[in-house]
Amino acid sequence: MEISTEAKLEPFLQWLQVNKVELRGCKIKYSDESKGFGIFSSNEFSDGVLLVVPLDLAITPMRVLQDPLIGPECRAMFEDGEVDDRFLMILFLTVERLRKNSSWKPYLDMLPTTFGNPLWFTDDELLELKGTTLYRATELQKQNLLTLYDDKVKDLVKKLLVLDGDSESEVSFEDFLWANSIFWTRALNIPLPHSYVFPQNQEDLNKYDSINNSAELSNDHNSRGELINGLNDINLKAAATWEVDGTGLITGVPFSMYLLSVERSSFHSEKEISISYGNKGNEELLYLYGFVIDNNPDDYLMIHYPAEAIHSIPLSDSKALLLEEQKAQLRCLLPKSLLEHGFFAAGHPKDGNNDNKLEVDRISSFSWSGQRRMPSYLNKLVFPENFLTALRTIAMQEDEISKVSSLLEELVGSGGERQPSDAEVRAAVWETCGDSGALQLLVDLLQAKLTELEESSGMEDYDSELLLKSCITESQGQHASCENNSSEETNGWTQHKMSRKTWSSIVYRRGQKELALLFLKEAEHALQLALTEGN
């Protein structure tokens, strides 16, 4: 039977007190069904410090390796490189969730039991992502997690529980999946003091020097997931940041981390306090955290040329060598913000320096002989030069490869006195090939991307219509905008219920279709200009 909200909070507050956590300018309370528990301002404060947490409550790789139950079983695997620091913390969470007398129980009880990211989707919900990058990524991730669970986690957790005196509890893949989601939604990059993390004993210091000296709490993602209280706030605007006080000069508590108000002024009472996710597109937000932002300004489209396909194109060995020499990239992220500087930008670019930067980046790759004219579209071309470099090379003809070799020989000498730089190779390739071949290949890639998206779930207009008529239901009960009946007639159309996971999937895939269409339009126009100008 699930523990009630009130029954969870009181033991947790007592646990915080026992572990010397200080709630100075805040309190913890239930927010709502979609968010769970959160931190709220409670009164005025002068120094901006809202919350102080001893570093002894930080779950770090070193803590796991020093744990009397888990540490001995993990040290050899870690030292041999079989597992990484993230695995250690996810394993720790898995075991502590199952331990009957875990000292972390009051904290773990506050955490959600299910999540909104695609790893927790039903088969039908996952189909809503078909055709997107995230669909395949989710399949691969789940399979990798299943393999890791079967190969390393299942038997190890069972062994640890038996060592702890529990021979009855069973571990399941969902336990491991839960721990994985807790880690990725709540891990923070906070550098801990070297003197706190590393023992003074030199032998021990050498033993664990493979752990990064900063000993961050965990991962590469700046997350809002708070280490202690498990708040689930989707506000991207940071009201506070986590800092570390190694000496105690700021908080009066040596070796502590503290939540610091960004505003550095008193909050209004009862205001919920959040920290930032960073500027992330819906693909990353849904993949890691299980939510999206409608019309997300930080959305992006990922385009790539399959590396395995290079082996099947003509002159693949020569082209692969040229790609390596130019340090070309076979994939690129196309942020929505690039469109502000393109051919069809609405109004003036927000960053007046962007055109100049693009021009400098591309001029550095242009020819030294002046035989090919500078493109008129240079300052409006929004696609990254490293990716266009790869596409130029892939699209090259046999005679063009020979010409590139001749140009480089003229530059560095027939005796090969020196190796040409990557910029010089790029310049030779551009002078020989121009942009037309690369832009045609880019148009083909974008058209294929759009076709894959639309074949799976229809056109962008269809997704917009679904969202317009949607009525979101939460996992327990219903969203306030929904009626109790299965559908409602509103302004001449029928409003349909859908889960928040389905709604998030449609918002994400609609954004992908929108970006594919807009970048395709940019690429087609650039191709037309390149052909007209002989580039």
Output the pLDDT for position 494: 66
Highest-confidence segment of 23-27, 57-61, 435-439: 435-439
Angle 49-276-222 from CA coordinates, rounded to 5°: 105
Report whether pLDDT(450) > 90: yes
Output the pLDDT for position 408: 85
Integer angstrom CA distances of residue 6 from 20, 200, 269, 272: 22, 43, 21, 19
Beta-strand relationship, 331-335 and 22-23: unpaired
Render 50-118 in DSSP notation, one character per residue: EEEEEGGG---HHHHHH-TTTHHHHHHHHHTTSS-HHHHHHHHHHHHHH-TT-TTHHHHTTS-SS-SSG
Q: Give the separation between CA 526 and CA 230, rounded to whole angstroms.
A: 48
Integer angstrom CA distances of residue 450 from 88, 293, 381: 40, 21, 20
Q: What is the pLDDT of residues 53-85, one digit of tens each?
A: 999 999 989 889 999 999 999 998 898 888 999
- What is the identity of the amino acid at 340? E
Output the pLDDT for position 45: 63
Q: Check if the beta carbon of residue 500 is closer than 8 Å to that of residue 477.
A: no
Report whether pLDDT(412) > 80: no
Encode burial over 6-25: b for 16+ CB neighbours within 10 A, e otherwise. Answer: eebbeebbebbeeeebbbbb
Using DSSP, state whether 385 is helix, strand or coil.
helix
Output the pLDDT for position 489: 55
Confidence at 414, pLDDT banded by 50, 70, 90: low
Would you tell me how many other CB atoms lie within 10 Å of the CB of residue 195?
11
Mean pLDDT of 266-289: 83
Both structure tokens of 370: 């002046």
Output the pLDDT for position 415: 65
Highest-confidence segment of 277-281, 349-353, 506-510: 506-510
The least confident of 3-12, 177-186, 425-434, 449-458 is 3-12
Render 186-233 in DSSP notation, one character per residue: H----PPPHHHHS-SSHHHHHHTTTS-TT--SS-SS-----TTT----
Q: Give the separation between CA 67 and CA 90, rounded to whole angstroms.
A: 14
Residue 496: partners with Cβ closer than 8 Å, 6 or more residues away = 466, 469, 470, 471, 487
Output the pLDDT for position 267: 56
Both structure tokens of 4: 């009630």
Output the pLDDT for position 137: 95
Q: What is the mean pLDDT of the chain?
A: 83
Q: What is the pLDDT of residues 116-170, one digit of tens each?
A: 999 999 999 999 999 999 999 999 999 999 999 999 999 999 999 999 999 999 9
Percent of the chain with pLDDT over 70: 80
The least confident of 38-47, 358-367, 403-412 is 358-367
**Domains in the chain with CATH codes:** 5-194+236-261 (3.90.1410.10), 280-346+362-473+494-534 (3.90.1420.10)
Confidence at 345, pLDDT banded by 50, 70, 90: confident
Using DSSP, state whether 300 is helix, strand or coil.
strand
Q: Give the separation between CA 403 and CA 421, rounded to whole angstroms.
A: 17
